Structure 1
Amino acid sequence: MQNVNAITTKGGSLRVKLQRLGGFLAGMVIPNIGAFIAWGLITAFFIPTGWVPNEHLAKLVGPMIMYLLPILIGYTGGKLVYDVRGGVVGAVATAGVAIGSSVPMFIGAMIMGPLGGYVIKKFDEAVEGKVPAGFEMLVNNFSAGILGGILAILAFLFVEPVMNAISLGLGAAAQWVTDKGLLPLIALFIEPGKVLFLNNAINHGILAPLGVAQVKEFGKSIFFLLETNPGPGLGVLLAYWLFGKGDAKQSAPGAIIIQFFGGIHEIYFPYVLMNPALLLAVIGGGMAADATFVLTKAGLVATPSPGSIFAEIAMAPKGGLLPVLAGIAVGALVSFLIASPIVKRASEESMSAESMSFARSIVSGLKAQSKGEKVEMPKAEVKMDTLPKLIVFACDAGMGSSAMGETILRKKLKEAGFDIQVKHSAVNQIPKEADVVFTQENLAERAAQVVPHAKIVTVKNFLDNTVYDEFVKSLRK
């Protein structure tokens, strides 16, 4: 496992910074994925080349992509910095950069939204304790309005032209790469980046804005397929299922269901980290898939999130499903062919339960590093006077790992005879009525701020059954 340590420590400082950036970008985009999908479906159905062209309903496409989606991102970014008050000012500031732009202003929204939240937060800190009694509401409302208006004007006059030029430049560069047939080479960066938890920075920070701009012009975009493609990961898991040994072989079928159908790609990362040579498999599969997408002119109308095969199918445009499926199938096949001899030659020890556990701990560590904290071993013993009524699994985005943890614990509670409600959510949106919250150590403080009365259980790995077994034992006591 020394190779794994080398991968996870080399260039760690830059990787951690990119992970943090990606985590923050994801925090702005992921809560609004439903809005992106709504826009994508409206686009797929009603534009002139859509499933059921409708000139009147197609009028929704432009305003939604130009104004609604950037302002939603700006609001969410401001809220991440300073709750709802920061979100409101962030949305107003984002309106300044979105209005008048000739391209969807997602990059501008990711700047102005958090900036608006930061500015109003600093203002409130500066005047705290200095506002005369009875004037609090007046100061709160007018400060948000004045600062939001100033930021919107500055964004409209100065930020928007710069962001517009940058967006047009990035779009032109992306189109040039595509036209020259160089796009498959991007898998050299995307596939290892995913395993090192740089996927959010790659997808939400770079590819999604490019894809949205391309959809506005062409009705679909290949950029939505590059990072979300489940094919390369599927190929690796299939190789473990057919040619693996021990715990890795036994757990691979379940991982395939979660990764390919559920769209939770991080489930296959430990399988790659157990044998870093498998990076060649996912890179090869990614390049083959991307080449197929280019040759068949494949594209999607919106981001498929999570990267499930069902989401990929749902976001395919009219007449564009077969190219999408062809690319995914080719990616899976090539990844499988490269991974199979590597897995066959691997020792049984390298695929043991201990190796799998260690690889999963590396994945958990990478995820924790993306948030700037070190995760300690879990302490699941929770003493309570009464049985909890609601248990919540909380992670940064409220998707993926927390949802899997929820499923595991719900099953164990049911088997133990406990009728307790279990949910998952983003850490900032934990229900107030939660009695127990499972979360990673780096998020424990934020969780405690949201639900100060709840018992916080910190975990290292949401897939670690030991944590849940101990928790169920504590409930029996």
Structure 2
Amino acid sequence: MSTTTEAPSGFSPRVALQKVGTSLSNMVMPNIPALIAWGLLTAFFIPDGWTPNAPLASVVDPMIHYLLPLLIANTGGRMIYEARGAVVGVIATMGVIGGSDWLIAQENAQLLEKWLADGNAEADFAALGEVHMFIGAMIMAPLAAWVMKKLDRLWQDHIPAGFEMLVNMFSAGIFGLIALAAGFFGLAPLVNGLMTLLANGVNGLVNAGLLPLVSLLIEPAKVFFLNNAINHGVLTPLGISEAAVDGKSILFLLEANPGPGVGILLAFTFFGRGAARATAPGAAIIQFFGGIHEIYFPYVLMRPILIIAAIGGGMTGVFVNAVFHTGLIAPASPGSIFAIFGVAARDSYLGIGLSVLAAAAVSFVLSAVFLKIGKQDDGDIAAATAKMEQMKGKKSSVAGALTGAGAGAAAAADASGHTGPIHRIVFACDAGMGSSAMGATVLRKKVRAAGFDDVEVTNKAISSLDDEWDVVVTQKELTDRAQQRTGSAVHVSVDQFMNSPRYDEVVQLVQQRNADDTGPGPAAGPPQEEATAASPGTATILAADSIILSGTASDSASGIDEAGALLVAAGAVDEGYVAAMHDREATVSTFMGNGLAIPHGTGEAKSSIQRSAMSFVRYPEGIDWNGNPTTFVIGIAGVGNEHLELLQKVAMTFSDPAQVQRLEDATTTEEILEILGDTKE
């Protein structure tokens, strides 16, 4: 996974619509749990629900009319101007809600007067229903927060000392009232008219039996990440209003149906080629059960004609849902089959199940035909993923995982709460003395070469981490443990420490974050864990007797035994440490890359170490190290930091292909020691 590249300059309607859709999604998605709670409340406790309950049913209308729009307003305002924007956004949105209700009341009064004048009975009068201000909240709250932010900047430098709180409180209150009035008289009539127009358009499609045609818009929009503007800007507000009246809405199913995507992925599973075929089964599981629809987008982008298959599947699913009059009681997010059935209306399970199967079948058949017709190679799934990420504007962790990429530094930074400059980077592993030390050495050289001499790059055991680091690099199996101890850091996961492409991304992140940082960084903390040579006369860390030029092991287990036996023979460790080396390997692989493995014990095994030592075993024919071809195995046992200087030399040696070739060609132990550089305790 490469780092994000700068987008080309100039206005792009597609990018602009993506940004609008992303903003709408960011306001709605955090509040989906509240929408689901309202849907369940409706499903169980209204008069037609599973377990009717009049007292609880009385909460249904206030919740959808006030609570849900105001929650969205809070989120939208907070996105722009934190807590201050959230408060002002909620006040302003209350004006839109009140204005809409007042307009509806005025219109109902006029209609009732006309109804009675025509000689009809008042009891038969059908009043217009309320308009729920979801769209109003998504427009008014961010706008009010943005204006408040601009106003604060006008006078923030002119407030007398001691009057800051007074000015801040009253300025927000006064502007909030102004924004409320603007929403009441200005935005409410516009939103009422827009909702009426959209509702009439959807009803017209339904009545004409043309609702499946919306798939012509929705399915391509999904692939090009334009669906958020349609889904959260139109379908969700209309669906909620419809569900408030009918108890369910088919609109929630137009975009969420996983059938079209899983049909395409299954076609690749049976008829694809190369990496696309190999990764499709995993993608199908993630898409169907996990609800992450974007996982199938690269497959469509790789063969654009498959958009026809997606449209065909989508139209089929909508048609079946329309025939069976199905619907959801609330939005299904993510679009997992579990989430869909979790919020399905009580009379819709059969129809929804058939719609998913039918959509998957049609998209599968069409995709299979297109894949069989096409004689050329299916293309590069990694390149298609990169193209998808470029259109999306950010990284896709799930797609990257399927195509073999780890968690990139840019994506990890986006996902973390860390926003400041990078001053401290730590490599963390289980014991903190082997693989992490080598990784730290390699990255430290890259960071220094980029001109950032003040950035600390060191290594530690996960158990000794504090939440004081800006970036934490771990092997992917250990990332969860590291996140528990350093929640505020940027976490970067790598497959191996020796030569990961993530290192260049970390350097780019440092360059981006530190470009404008001219002030002093935080305290440098403890010195980097680099050992120096000790006085002569003490035992060598890597002795000639601990070097074997032609090992006899055949796999990782026997390789650990062979390297560990050399440490035992050198008097550095006891047999218990070798067992701990196997325990460490069972937890996370010690394969470093470039044909090198560095097995070592767990942190709990330090009591088995008498002194720091290393062993070196070369396998000219190579051995299999948990699926990785390995030529060199270096066993490590460390007390304190004595062994780290040699580890750093090992790291630099194996990052240089020419030096690795020298190690492969060496015929004596003396040559090995000369290349690595011996160090005394």
Question: TM-score normalised to the size of structure 1?
Answer: 0.79
**Deviation readout 1:40-99 (Å, 9 max, x if unpaired):** 111111122222121211111111110111111111111111111111101111111123
- The question of 1:361 aligning with 2:383 is answered no
- Give the drift of 1:28: 0.8
Q: Which amino acid aligns with 2:489?
A: D
Residues 418, 89 of structure 1: alpha-carbon distance in 2 compared, 3 angstrom cutoff:
closer
Q: Secondary structure at the match of 2:177?
A: helix
Hey, what's the Cα distance between the residues in 2 that align with 1:12 and 1:145?
37
- The question of 1:21 aligning with 2:84 is answered no
- Give the drift of 1:163: 1.3
Deviates more, 1:342-351 or 1:54-63: 342-351
Structure 2 equivalent of residue 464 of structure 1: none
Structure 2 equivalent of residue 64 of structure 1: 63
Spell out the pairing of 1:383-422 with structure 2 (5 A cutoff). Answer: 383=444, 384-387=457-460, 389=465, 412-414=475-477, 420-422=481-483
Hey, what's the Cα distance between the residues in 2 that align with 1:382 and 1:20?
35
**Deviation readout 1:370-416 (Å, 9 max, x if unpaired):** 9xxxxxx966886532447599xxxxxxxxxxxxxxxxx98x532xx
| Superposed CA RMSD | 3.2
2:354 alignment partner, one of 318, 326, 341: 326
**Alignment check: 8 A CA contact 2:326 2:347 kept:** no
Residues 47, 254 of structure 1: alpha-carbon distance in 2 compared, 3 angstrom cutoff:
same
Hey, what's the Cα distance between the residues in 2 that align with 1:189 and 1:61?
33
**Alignment check: 8 A CA contact 1:97 1:156 kept:** yes
Spell out the pairing of 1:389-468 with structure 2 (5 A cutoff). Answer: 389=465, 412-414=475-477, 420-422=481-483, 433-437=487-491
Q: Which amino acid aligns with 2:390?
A: G
Hey, what's the Cα distance between the residues in 2 that align with 1:190 and 1:328?
16
**Alignment check: 8 A CA contact 1:390 1:433 kept:** no
- Give the drift of 1:350: 2.3
Residues 448, 137 of structure 1: alpha-carbon distance in 2 compared, 3 angstrom cutoff:
farther
Q: Which amino acid aligns with 2:83?
A: V
Hey, what's the Cα distance between the residues in 2 that align with 1:308 and 1:57?
29
Residues 51, 308 of structure 1: alpha-carbon distance in 2 compared, 3 angstrom cutoff:
same
**Deviation readout 1:396-446 (Å, 9 max, x if unpaired):** xxxxxxxxxxxxx98x532xx6773348xxxxxxx99422256999xx79x
**Alignment check: 8 A CA contact 1:97 1:152 kept:** yes
- Give the drift of 1:311: 0.6
In structure 1, the gaps of 5 or more residues are: 1-7, 371-376, 392-408, 424-430, 454-468
Q: Secondary structure at the match of 2:378?
A: helix
Deviates more, 1:11-20 or 1:83-92: 11-20
Residues 193, 95 of structure 1: alpha-carbon distance in 2 compared, 3 angstrom cutoff:
same
In structure 2, the gaps of 5 or more residues are: 1-6, 102-129, 396-406, 411-441, 445-456, 468-472, 494-504, 515-520, 523-591, 598-646, 652-681
Hey, what's the Cα distance between the residues in 2 that align with 1:37 and 1:129?
45
Residues 390, 14 of structure 1: alpha-carbon distance in 2 compared, 3 angstrom cutoff:
farther
Q: Secondary structure at the match of 1:104?
A: coil
Q: Secondary structure at the match of 1:189?
A: helix
Hey, what's the Cα distance between the residues in 2 that align with 1:433 and 1:316?
36
Residues 378, 264 of structure 1: alpha-carbon distance in 2 compared, 3 angstrom cutoff:
closer
Residues 78, 418 of structure 1: alpha-carbon distance in 2 compared, 3 angstrom cutoff:
closer
Question: TM-score normalised to the size of structure 2?
Answer: 0.56
Hey, what's the Cα distance between the residues in 2 that align with 1:262 and 1:368?
22
Q: Which amino acid aligns with 1:436?
A: V
Q: Which amino acid aligns with 1:302?
A: A
Hey, what's the Cα distance between the residues in 2 that align with 1:103 and 1:239?
44
Deviates more, 1:12-21 or 1:278-287: 12-21
Q: Which amino acid aligns with 2:72?
A: I
- The question of 1:31 aligning with 2:30 is answered yes
- Give the drift of 1:346: 3.3
Q: Which amino acid aligns with 1:413?
A: K
Deviates more, 1:162-171 or 1:299-308: 162-171
* Percent identity between the two aligned chains: 46
2:247 alignment partner, one of 209, 213, 219: 219
Q: Secondary structure at the match of 1:385?
A: strand
Hey, what's the Cα distance between the residues in 2 that align with 1:313 and 1:232?
17
- The question of 1:186 aligning with 2:214 is answered yes
Count the aligned residue pairs.
411
Structure 2 equivalent of residue 461 of structure 1: none
Structure 1 equivalent of residue 46 of structure 2: 47
**Alignment check: 8 A CA contact 1:93 1:112 kept:** yes
Structure 1 equivalent of residue 271 of structure 2: 243
Residues 361, 69 of structure 1: alpha-carbon distance in 2 compared, 3 angstrom cutoff:
same
Residues 94, 322 of structure 1: alpha-carbon distance in 2 compared, 3 angstrom cutoff:
same
Hey, what's the Cα distance between the residues in 2 that align with 1:335 and 1:269?
14
**Alignment check: 8 A CA contact 1:234 1:259 kept:** yes
Q: Which amino acid aligns with 2:15?
A: V
Structure 2 equivalent of residue 456 of structure 1: none
**Deviation readout 1:252-302 (Å, 9 max, x if unpaired):** 111011100000000000011111110110000001111111111111011
Q: Secondary structure at the match of 1:242?
A: helix
Structure 2 equivalent of residue 108 of structure 1: 136
**Alignment check: 8 A CA contact 1:246 1:348 kept:** no
